[in-house]
Amino acid sequence: MSTPNGREAAVARVLDYLDGGDFETELQRRVAIRTESQKRESLPELHRYVDAEMIPTFEAMGFACKKYENPIEGLGPMLLATRHEGDDLPTVLGYGHGDVIRGLEQQWTKGKGPWEIARDGDKLYGRGTADNKAQHTINIAAIRCVLEERGKLGFNAKFMIEMGEEAGSNGVREILEAHLDDFKADVFIASDGPRAQAERPTLTLGARGAENFDLSLDLREGAHHSGNWGGLIADPSIILAHALASITGPKGEIRIPEWMPPATPPAVREALQGLTIDAGPDAPTIDPDWGQPGLTPAERVYSSNSFAVLAMTSGNPANPVNAIPPRARAHCQLRYFAGTDTSQILPALRRHLDAHGFSHVEVSGPPEANSGGFGASRTEPDHPWVTWTRDSMTRSMGEAPAVIPSMGGSICNDLFTDLLGLPAIWIPHSYGACSQHAPNEHILMSITRTALPVMAGIYWDLGEGATPKAA
């Protein structure tokens, strides 16, 4: 039996971990490892994060560690840490990714650069603080504090660390498929992404998918003088711009019917009712009339699809000359909600371009640097594990968390819901203006102060015997 104040004592422990400086000490060690998974030369650092940082951390907590080599040559490994306490106990699978986006060292204007954490008021700067090293550091510390307080967890814990999420999680599916028994669990609970509002804990139940592709037009060899040939030869930039403009309306509304998901399920619509997006004072201003018409901002990002042109080139933008370029290329992306027919994304685009007179515009897969893709997936808001987790979070914070059916970004959530068959629940510890994937990435210490008790409360409650499986 647990002591009457065991939950509160575990929360106190995890706050002492924060206030005593151990959180920043651990995070600094992890941020200093330059785990840039998009760089093949960073492979030794990806291994070092697992071998020198994660394995000792989990083994000190009584976890058995198994490292999996990536079946795709040159990509980072994956770790599964397991603590088994009883065959009759629920098993919880956790997750974090130790890889980060490129450091972009020369572009940082805050803190001390990407590889050293630095405090500035409420902000703690460093590459990977928001995405995802601080987030899994919070969860691992909460597990440790519950273990120290209770002497056991009271549930079986598995924790997966992958080292290639920022490069598309390539190879992870193959590892899971080859070792399905290793990853068996009853529920998936992890942390990534931003809260809907910085001050309000959030529970996220899925992720939008991402389909990346290129549109290109190659008309001739070499550029030609714009004075001698302007008005005589076609400009690929103009043609491609018109092709892109046919895909959406002037306010970003998608014009390809097959690119839209089916009607929003009632439980999803109910979860989003009244939800506002407040990413913080440094976030971009939301354009109220951009995107799909008739939807609230929350519905546009959490339950609908969006198209973006991520990059576009023609000629030499850095040093333009008076010549009509021979070719143009646009790197594009469709973010899509669960229920979208993914088999029709590119075929429907081809049909659309042909019907609008752009049959000579080529549709192709993206370059290797941005080739990773994720499927859309979702756990329903009325699932028993969702209700259980929401109740635990409410108990910790004194208010119900925001419930988001699907994060706006993409992650390998479909591997947990579809391949492993688990209800997947994400509890993000960042916020929208954290500059993830950009210079000056940071977390808010005020969010960390609320996130640690929330996670300690969840891990404590998991061992109390009243989970959906044990009921």
Q: What is the pLDDT of residues 222-247, one digit of tens each?
A: 999 999 999 999 999 999 999 999 99
Residue 274 lies inside a defined structural domain of this protein? no
The DSSP code for 336 is E
Measured at the alpha carbon of residue 186, what is the angle toward residues 183 and 192, in degrees to the nearest 5? 75
CATH number of the domain enclosing 231: 3.30.70.360
Residue 306 DSSP SS3: strand
CA dist 378 and 318 (Å) reads 43
% of the chain with per-residue pLDDT over 90: 84
219 and 190 in one domain? no
Q: 63-77, 101-115, 293-307 — which is least confidently predicted? A: 293-307
What does pLDDT average to over the chain?
Answer: 93
Q: Can you state the angle between helices 384-397 and 445-462, rounded to 10 degrees?
A: 120
CA dist 267 and 270 (Å) reads 5
Q: Residue 115 — pLDDT band, cuts 50, 70, 90?
A: very high
Task: Write down the pLDDT at residue 4.
Answer: 53
108 and 59 in one domain? yes
230 and 136 in one domain? no
State how many domains the chain has: 2
Name residue 302's amino acid: Y
Residue 468 lies inside a defined structural domain of this protein? no
Model confidence pLDDT, tens digit, residues 163-220: 999 988 999 999 999 999 999 999 999 999 999 889 999 999 999 999 999 999 999 9
Q: What value does the mean pLDDT take over residues 315-339?
A: 94
Task: Write down the pLDDT at residue 67.
Answer: 98
Q: 37-41, 219-223, 264-268 — which is least confidently predicted? A: 264-268
Residue 141: its H or E element: helix 134-150
231 and 95 in one domain? no
Q: What value does the mean pLDDT take over residues 79-85?
A: 98
242 and 193 in one domain? no
Q: What value does the mean pLDDT take over residues 317-337?
A: 95
189 and 116 in one domain? yes
Assess whether pLDDT exceeds 50 at residue 1: no
176 and 38 in one domain? yes
Q: What value does the mean pLDDT take over residues 45-63?
A: 98
CA dist 25 and 18 (Å) reads 10
Q: What value does the mean pLDDT take over residues 151-161?
A: 98
Domain that holds residue 203: 6-207+376-462
Task: Write down the pLDDT at residue 374.
Answer: 78
Q: 141-145, 178-182, 239-243, 410-414 — which is least confidently predicted? A: 410-414
Assess whether pLDDT exceeds 80 at residue 432: yes
CATH number of the domain enclosing 173: 3.40.630.10
CB atoms within 10 A of CB 177: 11
Residue 270 lies inside a defined structural domain of this protein? no
